[in-house]
């Protein structure tokens, strides 16, 4: 088969050979990890070793790890579970603070709580780079009716790194549980749960080289929350369902590699990403880089979104984009708008040229929606629809980058021509 350039690692990334071997090895073990006999106990040991390993790698404690079916379940568990746990203790209706650029796995449960459970929602706005304002968080926390605050560690579309350490601090001062979705952060920036001080952290396996269908919510053991799945109560009665020992063991291997290889991985993808960004800004007239300008190497051309000083920061924490030299963007992310084009048309033209990338935003019933993330950043609707995300990973090579640089100018020209014809036909 002809070589394809896979540049959609934020959607999912190839499984690591070490994680696959571990999966295969454990899949041969017999025994339900909750059974009391020798077979069950030995599989249970595999689960508990994985728990210890993930906790050690991410600066947490084994008792904090709740295994789930992935990022979506962890986000739902954190948002709904914390809301239901806290609401009876607050004046009703309780409020939920959530950033306006969350993944749908957070956005939709928050909206569901508003429409079904009477939650009042305060959407935290972002600046032109996609950063949440600390002043707005502090202001929103002043009333005593906040059930939880949720702000993602790093955005999946534009790669913006959020000041989650400072937000966690503000929430702790206010006595409000803070949840962060770190699905895109693990492996790209240092993720240490204790250092950041979040009460609940979502992670997912298939984004870092582990198998699909497994993830975790890392929940401060001092907290509890109302379950969303009831049954055997396998995870501290907070989550039920028979452990998938092979997936969990393999996930632990993926986390370990993601954490120990993070500095080298970030340097690898950052170098390729910077080359990609520079080349696109040079060769595609009108291309706009969305999100923060990369801190390294890329000359801020006219096409780079303007920087904004709206996010205050105290102390330095490169993992959370704080400090004078901090990179505010995930090293593997490049996200552009090509005004005059439809993102979907571009995606299909690049697909035909052997390049896999993404528009980064969701479809509703097959109809492409302009990204809520870009709209929240102040991008207009036509420009938001004209967007593409390239996300780089372990397997990305210079050849992949060059393939995009070769194919993109012609694809943009064709998509822009098609866009003009459609506009003319409509008028």
Task: Provide the binding-site residues for ligand PLP, judged by CB under 6 A.
Answer: 70-72, 75, 103, 105, 152, 156, 181, 183-184, 204, 206, 215
Which is closer to ligand PLP, CB of 185 or CB of 281? Answer: 185
Whether 171 sits among the annotated catalytic residues: the reply is no
State both tokens at 217.
Answer: 């919510």
Q: Which residues is 116 bridged to in the sheet?
A: none
How does DSSP classify residue 335? Answer: E
**Three-class SS of residue 96?**
strand
Closest residue (Cβ) to ligand PLP?
71
Q: How many beta carbons lie within 10 A of that of residue 240, not counting itself?
A: 14
Least distance (Å) between residue 10 CB and ligand PLP: 6
For residue 97, give the H/E element and its range: strand 95-99
How many Å from the N-terminal Cα to the C-terminal Cα in the chain? Answer: 43
Number of H helices, E strands in the chain: 13, 14
Which is closer to ligand PLP, CB of 184 or CB of 320? Answer: 184
Least distance (Å) between residue 410 CB and ligand PLP: 30
Which is closer to ligand PLP, CB of 77 or CB of 298? Answer: 77
Which is closer to ligand PLP, CB of 75 or CB of 342? Answer: 75
Gap between the Cα atoms of 158 and 333, Å rounded: 7
Which is closer to ligand PLP, CB of 5 or CB of 151? Answer: 151
Which is closer to ligand PLP, CB of 103 or CB of 265? Answer: 103
Least distance (Å) between residue 362 CB and ligand PLP: 10
Gap between the Cα atoms of 202 and 7, Å rounded: 24
Gap between the Cα atoms of 164 and 152, Å rounded: 8
CA distances from 176 to 14, 100, 166, 222, 372 (A): 37, 19, 13, 13, 26
Using an 8 Å Cβ cutoff, are 94 and 86 in contact? yes
Least distance (Å) between residue 412 CB and ligand PLP: 26
Using an 8 Å Cβ cutoff, are 133 and 97 in contact? no
The active-site residue out of 171, 341, 357, 363 is: 363
Using an 8 Å Cβ cutoff, are 235 and 66 in contact? yes
Least distance (Å) between residue 160 CB and ligand PLP: 12
Using an 8 Å Cβ cutoff, are 216 and 43 in contact? no
Least distance (Å) between residue 288 CB and ligand PLP: 22
Exposed e or buried b per residue across 261-292, where buried means at least 16 C-beta atoms within 10 angstroms of its C-beta? ebeebbebbbbbbbbbbbbbbeebeebbbbbb
Catalytic residues: 363
């Amino acid at each position: 088969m002809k070589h394809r350039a896979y540049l959609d690692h934020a959607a999912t990334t190839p499984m690591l050979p070490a994680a696959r071997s571990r999966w295969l090895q454990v899949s041969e073990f017999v025994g339900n990890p909750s059974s009391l006999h020798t077979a069950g106990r030995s599989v249970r040991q595999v689960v508990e070793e994985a728990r210890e390993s993930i906790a050690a790698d991410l600066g947490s404690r084994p008792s904090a790890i709740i295994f789930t079916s992935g990022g979506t379940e962890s986000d739902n568990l954190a948002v709904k579970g914390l809301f239901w746990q806290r609401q009876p203790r607050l004046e009703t209706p309780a409020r939920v603070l959530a950033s306006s650029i969350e993944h749908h796995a957070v956005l939709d449960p928050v909206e569901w709580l508003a429409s079904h459970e009477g939650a009042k929602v305060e959407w935290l706005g972002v600046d032109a780079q996609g950063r949440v304002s600390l002043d707005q968080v502090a202001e929103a926390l002043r009333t005593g009716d906040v059930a939880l605050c949720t702000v993602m560690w790093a955005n999946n579309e534009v790669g913006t790194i959020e000041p989650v350490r400072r937000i966690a601090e503000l929430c702790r001062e206010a006595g409000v549980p803070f949840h962060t979705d770190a699905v895109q952060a693990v492996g790209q920036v240092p993720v240490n749960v204790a250092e950041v001080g979040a009460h609940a952290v979502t992670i997912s396996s298939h984004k870092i080289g582990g198998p699909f269908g497994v993830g975790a919510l890392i929940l401060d053991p001092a907290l509890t929350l109302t379950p969303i799945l009831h049954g055997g109560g396998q995870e501290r009665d907070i989550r039920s369902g028979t452990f998938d020992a092979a997936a969990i063991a393999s996930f632990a291997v993926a986390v370990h590699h993601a954490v120990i290889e993070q500095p080298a991985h970030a340097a690898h993808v950052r170098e390729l990403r910077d080359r990609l960004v520079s080349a696109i800004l040079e060769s595609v007239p009108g291309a706009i880089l969305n999100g923060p300008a990369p801190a390294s190497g890329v000359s801020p051309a006219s096409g780079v979104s303007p920087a904004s000083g709206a996010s205050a920061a105290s102390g330095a924490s490169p993992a959370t984009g704080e400090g004078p030299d901090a990179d505010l963007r995930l090293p593997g992310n490049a996200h552009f708008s090509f005004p005059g084009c439809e993102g979907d048309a571009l995606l299909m033209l690049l697909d035909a040229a052997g390049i896999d990338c993404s528009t980064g935003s969701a479809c509703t019933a097959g109809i492409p929606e302009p990204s809520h993330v870009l709209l929240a950043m102040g991008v207009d609707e036509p420009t938001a629809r004209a967007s593409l995300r390239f996300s780089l990973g372990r397997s990305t090579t210079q050849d992949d980058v060059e393939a995009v640089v070769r194919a993109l100018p012609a694809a943009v020209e064709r998509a822009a021509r098609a866009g003009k014809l459609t506009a003319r036909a409509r008028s």
